[in-house]
Structures are given as C-alpha cells and as structure tokens.
C-alpha cells in the first residue's frame, strides 16, 4: 500500500497561453505514512491530488507517472480508473459542502461507493453507511439531512466517511481542516492517526503547517509547481533549510510561536507559458511568473534558474540561471543553488578576557542567512562582547570567526572596509553613537563618505532620503539639517538604523537597540526591523536583556550565562519549554515571579563546574565538579546536567 | 558635551578685557611701520632725551626713538608668540592624536618622549642652546616650538584616548573608517576647544620666554625686542630714564601676558569641566 509519484508534470492550456501547474514532482508515500504537501495558494497542491485520481480537467496535459502499490495508473483508461477510485485510492475534497451533491441526503452519498463498487443493495449499503457514519462520529439524526443542513464539521465527517468506507489503501486529504475549529481538527487528526495505524498511505494537502507538523512524517514544500524542499515534518518550524520553507514557517501563526508574524516579500501567482501573436512558436513561446498586480506585458523575463529567486532574500546572481535540481542536504532534499539557507556568521571557540576577567568562555555560534537570532541573558553575561566580536569591533583572544564562508580576521586584515560594508551595527545609546557635530544628513551619509561611495552629491542625497523613508523618518531638507540634540530618542535610533542600513549590509548587529526607547517607540522600531528583515532578508543578531521583547521578534534565541551559551534553539521552544533552569529563571523573572531568584552572588569567577549552580534549584554533586557542555536535546542545544524535560 | 566656545569666552568680563588688550597689541604690531614716527634702528646723536613732542617716550642711549622701538618690539613678541603657539599645537596634536589612534610601540615611544621633555627644565635648556647659537628670530621660533609642545601633546593624547571610546567614533570605526578619517572628521573637531586653550597658553609662554631670553642677552641683537629694551634700560638705572624707557616696556609686556592669561583663563574650563560654574551643564 504505497503511492509513488514520479516526475509528474501538469500544464493547463488556456487559449494561446498555458499555465505550468506542476513540474517534475516526485513524491513517495509509504504504507503507514502521512506526507504533507504545503505551500502558498496556487502552488499546485490540489492539482497534484486531483491528478492522482485522474480528475484533471480536459484542458490539462500531464506527463510522468503515478504508481499505486508499484503498478502504474493508466489515466487514459476511464473504466480502470473508475474501479480504482474510492476502492484503492480515494480523496477527501476541499471546500466541504461544496463538493457534495446538494440534492442527495448525506447517507445516500456515503452509501453510493458501496453500491457502485461492492454491488450491495441500496438497503444493505445504507445499513453499512449508517454504521460507518456513527463510527466516525456523526449521530443518526443527521444522516438523512441534506449537505446544506449540516455544519462544517459534520460535512467533513461525511466526506471522510465517503473516502474511507471502501477502506482504500491510499487516501488523499485536500485541506481537511481549512474550515474547522481546533476541536474538530482534533477529530480529523484522530482519523489520520488511526488510518496510519492500519497501514494506509496518506497524502495530506494543507496550508495548516501546525496540523501537518503534528500529523505527517514528511513534509513537501511546493512552490509554483516545484518541490522546493522535503523534510522531516517536525523540523518545519525549527530547522528549515530552504529560504522559502523558512519564510512560509515564519508566516504561519503557530500556537507556540511568540514571534510576530512575518511574511514573504513579493507575490507569486501562476507560471505562465505563452506566445504572442501567431509567429514562429519556438521564438515566441516563453514562460514567466504572472504576478497578480502586474499586467502581463510588464514582466517578461523568462524565469530561468530558481523560481523563488526574486522573492528569496539570499538570492545571488547565478540563482537566475540554469536549472536548479533537488539535492540531498542532511536528511532533507532541497532545491536551492546554495544548498539551502547559507550560514552568515560562524563563531568557533571564541574567547575574550578583560584582564583577568573572562568575558567569553569558548563559545560557538551560527547565524543563518535571513534569521533573527536573539541573545538574551543577565547583565555581565557577555552579550555585548559577543555582539561586538561578531561585528568585528573587538577582537577575540582565541577562536575563529567566519563571515559568509570567509575567515573574518584574515578578511579584516586584508580589507576591513569591504567587510565593514556587509555588517551594520546599531548601538545601545543612539545619542552617544551619533556625533553631536553631525546633522542627520551627515550622520546617515557617513558610511557612504567613509566608503567613498556615491560621490555625486545629488545621488547621495537621494539615497539618504530613500533610506530615511525606509525607516519612516521625514525626508524634507529641514529634517536633514537637524542635529541630534534636536531629535527625540526614537527618531535618533531610527537615524542610527538608517545609517546602519545605508550600505545595504547583509547582516545587522543590534546591541540593545531599544533599551533607551519608551514602549510605543520601541514597538515602532521593532516593527520596522521585522519589515526590513522580510523585505531585505537582513540577517540579524539582536542582543537584549529583555526576554519578553526578544521572543516577539526572534526566530532563534540564545541564552547567555557567564560568558557562555547555556541554551540555544527556536525561540518558541526556548520560551514555552525552557530546558535550562537559568532560562526558566529568566522567563519567570520576566513574568514578575521573582521568588525563584535565590541570591547567588556573582557567577562570573567560577572556574570549575556549572556557573549557575549556586542559584540552581536542581543542582547536584556533579554540578560542582564538572561544567556541563552543550548537547542536543528536543530540537535545541542546552548545557545542563539536569535539564527540565 | 557640547561646548560653545564663543559663549564661554564672551560670557566672561576678564576675557573681553584680554581680547581688547590683545587686539590693541596686534594692531600696534601690524601698523608699526605706519604709526612709528622714526625708524627704530636709526641711531642719532640726541641720546637719552626726555619725552617731548618729537620723541614721545624720549630716546635711548644710542639715540633711537623708544616709542618706535616699543611698537616694533610688539611685532617681535607677537610674531614669536603666535608662531610658537601654532607650531607647538601642530606638533602636539600630530603626536598626541596619532599616538592615541595608532597605539602600540609607536604610542609608547612618543609618550615616553613627551614624558622626558616634561621633566627636562625647559628654560635652562633653551638658555644653554641659545647662548651657544645666538638664534635669529626664525631659529628662535623653531627652538621654542620644539621644546614646548609636550604638555599639549599629553593633554591631546589623553583626550583622544577618551574620545576614541565614544559611541560615534566606535560606530564610524565599525563602518570601516580609517584612522585618518577618524582624526580629521571626528577627533580634531572635538579637540577644537582644547587646541584653542593650548594655543593661547603657548603664545603666552613664548612671549614670556622670548622677552626673557632677550633680557638675558642671548638672542639676536639685531632684532628689536622688549626684553632687550628692558635689559638696555637697566644699564642706565642711575638716571631717571627708566620712567619712560623701562616702565612703558615693562607695562607693554605685562599687559600682553595679562591679556593672554585672561583669555586663557576664560577658556580653561573647556579642558577641565570641574572649573565650570554649576549653571553650565
């Protein structure tokens, strides 16, 4: 009982142009397994589901094969197909009631496959259908109702009953939860679990990522008809490898995610292949992505290369060329020229001491392109030192720093400027970090002056103005002539932000950028940072002592204690289920529960053992002897002998 | 800390007096050829005359007009003063700023040099050197400059060290700014007031030293200088010529130094904010 989809292509013909709905989609669903197909609307999810049942409309051309239990389905043979449908391969259609026949009672519609395929008499079929519907949780008084008399959840039960009454080996569920409340979703999940237990192969088509994560084993991410990534379902939010997967996950309101919703820049609509006029087909046929707002004469570059490149925030020049193939990376397959999300910054064993005081103990850190990593921790835990080492402002005593795949120290020695151009820094105190002798214009233009860019004054002014507009500041000349002491803190910090962004850096390092702002201004600045992250794909290292704030904006969170990271992982996990007692203490203190915070004195100068042990409620004898090292535990790294599990 | 130098100076009464005095001296020096009634070098037989309408302050022992000499003496004093002040600030800021910015061995060498110059009693060294080479005015300027930049360099160095850690300079560095950019665009403007104080005290010191050296008779005898005039006048102290020869010269020198001191005193709080009144935030 398995379903194999091999190199499946679907093209919809429509007059003189065609829409490429699926391209080379290969998917394998084994018995007892649920594969979730996710992606934005129009990515071709439903087309794939329907294609498996041979239900594509007449204007669709397909290529490739679908194997059911190893044997190819012949879509041209309607008779054979009809024998197959419902019996061995069935589908729960989306839109609930709309896919039921409005003039038949629900019981008759559920009984129909029995009559058609099993040759049962009407009464026998009705009996069986009644039992089946009751099993699935639709009580008898509803059985004789028409679809429009039933609630969404009841219709969904009817549809599931229809699809499962003949006990097919493969079930395709198309958006089974889209119109359901959370409790009814639980029932669908139960049905899926039970079907998997009986060795069914399930294809779950959904945009409900959390539902897919909990019910599927494997997730396939579809974009404009291509599979961008297949990955273990539980890594969807915690460890995506394709930029599209990450962006999709960031857009999804999962319960555990505290971060504000992101989005994906730009729009995708259809992939259109068409020709103008009736000239030579070879010459006039071309393909492009049709974006809803643009008329089709607007964008005409045929999309070669990665389909996602114009929305991707880490796209490089070569992403627009050639064909990008699926590749195996870790236990995912990824369709990305750069083998998935690249590592922007990598610190390996960096240490820093000030005199005899160790500010950073050997510390490893990775920041991936496009993510926002928050570093939280108490005062003196080494957060700022870490940020400044990452920014290249201070030099570590030991360890290696890699930026964008190059050794940072060698790079800095050779050409500090070109590295500095790629890293923007925002400091804690905006008033301090702008010279009081500089006007707003001079301050924002300073990095340009340093790099000798935009020598032409008008051009420079234009750029400065556009950056100021990006950070929602005034762009009139009077404002450009203002001096820092004439501005409020919020405006000043935005000037600092503009200054950090004016060279279009790849990475932004922000050291407590909002600690001097009041909450309303802070909210504005943070919202701005998140918008910039979506639009420019800025990678951010965000240092904050405010864990409540960090959780609202970060994808990942690192918790620092006495110069080392004691817990690092997806923010949602770190916040909802902290493993390290120190993390828990920070979160509880942020909530205002200070009774747990026992007095422990300085944690800094503990040479042996866990630096947290004097304050730790869980400490045991080993904690004094041996410092715990970071280990992987439930999707994150934690350094503790006795973590909360 | 934003220091408004203009406000700082004009807000002080003595500073205004100092400026007026200095302005008068500068005018006298600049206009000397126009307002001096005689060539100050020209000797005549009518020596040691008492003041009269033709010789306002009489004549000296070789018959030179004292009033004209006084005017030309201002030229020497101020020329030496301003040149030495400027050169000392220049050396001091080049060494101080570069030492603080570059650091390392270079900084150690420069600052040890400064330390050693500070402990050497400068006046004695200058007297010894000057006594040997009898410097003309140009050599004197260079000599005084070379031996009087060190205290300024030290102040500038320490200020630069603290400026270097300022947020906006750290920010400029993180954008990839070179040291020369930092020096020109950030540090020198920020040092402005301090350089001004250093400059004024440099002038004062040089005026005083030049007069002192001339008084001791170890400068170029061909230049007219207040110090030399006082030395000559003292030779005739048994006569009453001191009233119009020694006293006006002494007053001119004292006034110049007092004027510079007043100005310097008004701008000094710039270096040390602890000297400020409470009302200046």
How would DSSP label each residue in A484-520? Answer: GGGS-HHHHHHHHHHHHHTT--SEEEEESTTTTS-HH
Instruction: Kindly calculate the radius of gyration of chain B based on its CA atoms and give it in whole angstroms.
Output: 22
Q: Cβ of B46: how many Cβ atoms within 10 Å?
A: 12
pLDDT tens, A52-61? Answer: 888 888 888 8
- Kind of pairing between the strands at A564-570 and A636-638: antiparallel
Q: Cβ of A405: how many Cβ atoms within 10 Å?
A: 9
A638 domain-assigned? yes
CATH 1.20.1050.10 fits B14-35+64-275, yes or no: no
pLDDT at B3: 56
Q: Mark whether A413 and A446 lie in a shared domain.
A: no
Interchain proximity B176–A419, CB inside 8 Å: yes
pLDDT tens, A563-576? Answer: 888 888 888 888 88
Interchain proximity A429–B177, CB inside 8 Å: no
Nearest CA in chain B to A444: B172
Domain boundary among A335, A360, A375: A335
Interchain proximity A392–B174, CB inside 8 Å: yes
CA distance A539 to chain B (A): 17
Instruction: List residues of chain B with CB under 8 Å from any CB of chain A.
Output: 2, 166-178, 181, 185-186, 189-190
pLDDT tens, A489-522? Answer: 888 888 888 888 888 888 888 888 887 777 887 8
CB–CB contacts below 8 A, A to B? 58
Q: Cβ of A597: how many Cβ atoms within 10 Å?
A: 12
CA–CA dist A620, A643 (Å, integer): 12
pLDDT tens, A11-21? Answer: 888 776 778 88
Interchain proximity B170–A393, CB inside 8 Å: yes
Instruction: Label residue B279 by pLDDT band (50, 70, 90).
Output: very low
Q: Mark whether A349 and A402 lie in a shared domain.
A: yes
Q: Mark whether A631 and A520 lie in a shared domain.
A: yes
DSSP state of B44: -
Tokens, residue B3: 């220091």
Token pair 């555990």 is found at A256
SS3 for A354?
strand
Q: List, as own/partner pairs, every contact residues A131-134 make where C-beta atoms lie below 8 angstroms and the sequence separation is at least 24, other chains included.
A: A132/A161, A132/A164, A132/A165, A133/A106, A133/A107, A133/A157, A133/A158, A133/A161
Q: Mark whether A478 and A375 lie in a shared domain.
A: no
Q: Mark whether A532 and A499 lie in a shared domain.
A: no
Question: Which positions in chain B touch A447 (Cβ < 8 Å)?
Answer: 175-176
Interchain proximity A434–B171, CB inside 8 Å: yes
pLDDT tens, A144-182? Answer: 888 888 888 888 888 888 888 888 888 898 888 877 788
Q: What is the mean pLDDT of residues A524-552?
A: 84
DSSP state of B239: S
Q: Which residue has the higher pLDDT, A562 or A594?
A: A562
pLDDT at residue B108 tops 90: yes
Distance of CA A419 to the CA centre of its chain: 28
Give the Å distances, CA to CA, from A383 to A126, A361, B27: 69, 12, 61
Q: Mark whether A476 and A572 lie in a shared domain.
A: no
Most confident range, picked from A279-288, B52-61, B163-172: B163-172
- Kind of pairing between the strands at A89-92 and A170-174: parallel
Question: Which positions in chain A touch B167 (Cβ < 8 Å)?
Answer: 427, 429, 432-434
SS3 for A298?
coil
pLDDT tens, A399-434? Answer: 888 888 788 888 888 878 888 888 888 888 888 888
Question: With 0-12 CB in 10 A as exposed, 13-18 as middle and 19+ as buried, what is B240?
Answer: exposed
Question: Which positions in chain A touch B172 (Cβ < 8 Å)?
Answer: 446, 450
Residue A358: what are its φ and ψ, rounded to 5°? -85, 115
Q: Mark whether A515 and A441 lie in a shared domain.
A: no
Tokens, residue A118: 């099993």
CB-CB: which of B174, B177, B190 is closest to A391? B174
pLDDT tens, A188-242? Answer: 888 889 888 888 889 999 888 888 888 899 999 988 888 889 988 888 877 888 8
Mutate: best of A431, A446, A452, partner B, most B CBs <10 A: A446
- CA pseudo-torsion sign A168, A170, A175, A177: positive
Domain ranges of chain B: 14-35+64-275
CA–CA dist B17, B30 (Å, integer): 20
Interchain proximity B171–A417, CB inside 8 Å: no
Mutate: best of B162, B168, B170, B180, partner A, most A CBs <10 A: B168
CATH number at residue A368: 3.40.50.300
Interchain proximity A451–B176, CB inside 8 Å: yes
A159 domain-assigned? no
Nearest CA in chain B to A394: B174
Q: What is the mean pLDDT of residues A387-410?
A: 83
Residue B130 gets the label, from left (phi > 0), alpha (psi -120 to 50) or beta, of alpha
Cβ atoms of B84 and B137 closer than 8 Å: no
pLDDT at residue A597 tops 70: no
CB-CB: which of A418, A436, A503 is closest to B2? A436
CA–CA dist A579, A407 (Å, integer): 33
A247 domain-assigned? no
pLDDT tens, B13-72? Answer: 788 888 899 899 999 888 878 887 777 777 777 777 777 777 777 777 777 888 888 888
Residues written for chain B = 281
Q: Mark whether A602 and A619 lie in a shared domain.
A: yes
Q: Mark whether A522 and A412 lie in a shared domain.
A: yes
CA distance A432 to chain B (A): 5
pLDDT at residue A255 tops 80: no
Distance of CA A609 to the CA centre of its chain: 37
Question: Which positions in chain B touch A419 (Cβ < 8 Å)?
Answer: 176
CB-CB: which of A392, A417, A446 is closest to B172? A446
Q: A312 lies in which domain range? A: 270-335
Question: Which positions in chain B touch A437 (Cβ < 8 Å)?
Answer: 189-190
Mutate: best of B173, B176, B189, partner A, most A CBs <10 A: B176
Q: Mark whether A439 and A500 lie in a shared domain.
A: yes
CA distance A606 to chain B (A): 30
DSSP string computed for B178-240: -HHHIIIIIIHHHHHHHHHHHHHHHHHHHHHHHHHHHHTT-S-TTS--HHHHHHHHHTTTTSG
Instruction: List residues of chain A with CB under 8 Å from any CB of chain B.
Output: 391-393, 416-421, 423, 425, 427, 429, 432-438, 446-447, 449-451, 485, 496, 499, 503
A371 domain-assigned? yes
Mutate: best of B173, B175, B190, partner A, most A CBs <10 A: B175
Question: Which positions in chain A touch B190 (Cβ < 8 Å)?
Answer: 435, 437
Question: Which positions in chain B touch A423 (Cβ < 8 Å)?
Answer: 174
CA distance B151 to chain A (A): 27
Instruction: Label residue B190 by pLDDT band (50, 70, 90).
Output: confident
ipTM over 0.85: no
Domain boundary among A335, A366, A386: A335
CA distance B276 to chain A (A): 21
A428 domain-assigned? no
Minimum mean pLDDT range among A304-318, A489-503, A538-552, B119-133: A304-318
Q: What is the mean pLDDT of residues A246-268?
A: 72
Domain count across chain A: 3
Q: Mark whether A561 and A412 lie in a shared domain.
A: yes
A125 domain-assigned? no
CA distance A435 to chain B (A): 5
Q: Mark whether A491 and A368 lie in a shared domain.
A: no
Token pair 């206009």 is found at B31
């Amino acid at each position: 009982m398995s379903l194999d989809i091999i190199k499946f292509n679907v093209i919809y013909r429509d007059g003189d142009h065609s829409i490429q709905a699926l391209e080379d989609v290969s998917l394998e669903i084994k018995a007892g397994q649920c594969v979730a197909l996710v992606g934005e609307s129009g990515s071709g999810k439903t087309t794939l589901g329907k294609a498996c049942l041979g239900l594509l409309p007449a204007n669709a051309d397909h290529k490739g094969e679908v194997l059911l239990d190893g044997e190819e389905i012949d879509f041209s043979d309607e008779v054979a197909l009809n024998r197959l449908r419902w019996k061995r391969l069935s589908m729960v259609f989306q839109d609930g009631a709309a896919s039921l026949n409005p003039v038949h009672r629900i019981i008759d519609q559920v009984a129909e496959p029995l009559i058609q395929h099993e040759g049962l008499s009407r009464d026998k079929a009705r009996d069986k259908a009644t039992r089946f519907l009751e099993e699935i949780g639709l009580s008898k008084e509803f059985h004789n109702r028409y679809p429009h008399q039933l609630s969404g959840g009841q219709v969904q039960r009817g549809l599931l009953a229809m699809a499962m009454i003949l006990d097919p080996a493969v079930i395709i569920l198309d958006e089974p939860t889209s119109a359901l409340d959370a409790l009814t979703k639980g029932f669908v999940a139960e049905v899926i679990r039970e079907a998997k237990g009986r060795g069914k192969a399930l294809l779950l088509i959904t945009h409900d990522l959390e539902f897919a994560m909990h019910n599927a084993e494997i997730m396939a991410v579809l974009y404009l008809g291509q599979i961008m990534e297949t990955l273990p379902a539980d890594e969807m939010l915690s460890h995506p490898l394709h930029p599209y997967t990450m962006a999709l996950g960031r857009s999804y309101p999962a319960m555990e995610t505290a971060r504000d919703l992101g989005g994906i820049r730009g729009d995708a609509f259809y992939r259109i292949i068409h020709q103008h006029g009736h000239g030579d087909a070879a010459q006039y046929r071309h393909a492009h992505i049709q974006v809803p707002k643009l008329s089709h004469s607007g964008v005409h570059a045929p999309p070669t290369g990665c389909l996602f490149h114009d929305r991707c925030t880490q796209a490089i020049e070569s992403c627009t060329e050639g064909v990008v193939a699926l590749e195996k990376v870790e236990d995912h397959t990824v369709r990305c020229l750069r083998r998935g999300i690249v590592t922007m910054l990598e610190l390996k064993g960096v240490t820093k001491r000030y005199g005899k005081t160790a500010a950073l103990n050997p510390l490893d850190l990775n920041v991936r392109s496009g993510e926002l990593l928050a570093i939280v921790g108490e005062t003196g835990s080494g957060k700022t030192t870490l940020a400044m080492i990452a920014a290249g402002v201070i030099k570590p005593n030991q360890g290696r720093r890699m930026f964008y795949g190059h050794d940072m120290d060698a790079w800095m020695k050779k050409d500090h400027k070109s590295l500095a151009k790629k890293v923007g820094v925002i400091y804690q105190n905006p008033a301090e970090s702008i010279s009081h002798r500089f006007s707003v214009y001079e301050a924002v233009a300073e990095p340009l002056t340093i790099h000798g860019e935009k020598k032409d004054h008008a051009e420079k002014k234009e750029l400065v103005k556009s950056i100021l507009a990006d950070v929602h500041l005034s762009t009139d000349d009077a404002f450009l002539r203002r001096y820092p002491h004439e501005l409020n803190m919020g405006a000043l910090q935005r000037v600092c932000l503009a200054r950090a962004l004016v060279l279009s850096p790849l990475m932004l390092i922000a050291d407590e950028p909002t600690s001097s702002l009041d909450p309303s201004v802070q909210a504005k600045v943070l919202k701005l940072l998140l918008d910039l992250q979506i639009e420019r794909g800025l990678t951010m290292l965000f240092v904050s002592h405010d864990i409540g704030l960090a959780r609202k904006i970060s994808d990942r969170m690192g918790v620092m204690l006495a110069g080392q990271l004691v817990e690092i992982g997806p923010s949602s996990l770190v916040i909802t289920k902290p493993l390290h007692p120190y993390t828990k203490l920070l979160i509880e203190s942020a909530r205002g529960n200070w009774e747990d915070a026992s007095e422990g004195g300085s944690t800094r100068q503990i040479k042996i053992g866990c630096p947290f042990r004097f304050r730790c409620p869980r400490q045991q004898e080993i904690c004094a002897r041996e410092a715990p090292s970071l280990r992987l535990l439930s999707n994150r790294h934690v350094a503790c002998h006795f973590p909360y599990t | 800390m934003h220091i408004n130098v203009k406000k700082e100076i004009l807000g002080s009464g003595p500073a205004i007096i100092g400026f007026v005095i200095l302005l008068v001296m500068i005018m006298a020096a600049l206009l000397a050829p126009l307002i001096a009634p005689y060539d100050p070098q020209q000797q005549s037989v009518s020596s040691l005359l008492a003041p009269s309408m033709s010789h306002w302050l009489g004549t000296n022992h070789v018959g030179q007009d004292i009033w004209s000499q006084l005017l030309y003496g201002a030229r020497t004093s101020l020329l030496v003063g301003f040149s030495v002040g400027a050169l000392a600030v220049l050396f001091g800021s080049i060494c101080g700023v570069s030492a603080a910015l570059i650091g390392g061995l270079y900084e150690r060498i420069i600052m040890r040099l400064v330390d050693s110059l500070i402990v050497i009693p400068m006046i004695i060294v200058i007297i010894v050197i000057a006594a040997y080479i009898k410097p003309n005015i140009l050599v004197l300027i260079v000599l005084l400059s070379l031996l009087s930049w060190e205290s300024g360099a030290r102040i500038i160095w320490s200020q630069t060290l603290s400026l270097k850690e300022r947020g906006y300079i750290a920010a400029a560095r993180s954008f990839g700014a070179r040291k020369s950019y930092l020096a020109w665009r950030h540090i020198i403007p920020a040092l402005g007031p301090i350089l001004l104080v250093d400059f004024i005290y440099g002038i004062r010191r040089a005026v005083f030293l030049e007069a002192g050296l001339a008084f001791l008779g170890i400068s170029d005898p061909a230049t007219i200088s207040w110090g030399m005039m006082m030395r000559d006048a003292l030779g005739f102290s048994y006569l009453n010529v001191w009233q119009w020869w020694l006293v006006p010269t002494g007053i001119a020198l004292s006034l110049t130094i007092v004027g510079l001191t007043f100005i310097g005193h008004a701008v000094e709080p710039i270096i040390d904010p602890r000297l400020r009144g409470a009302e200046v935030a």
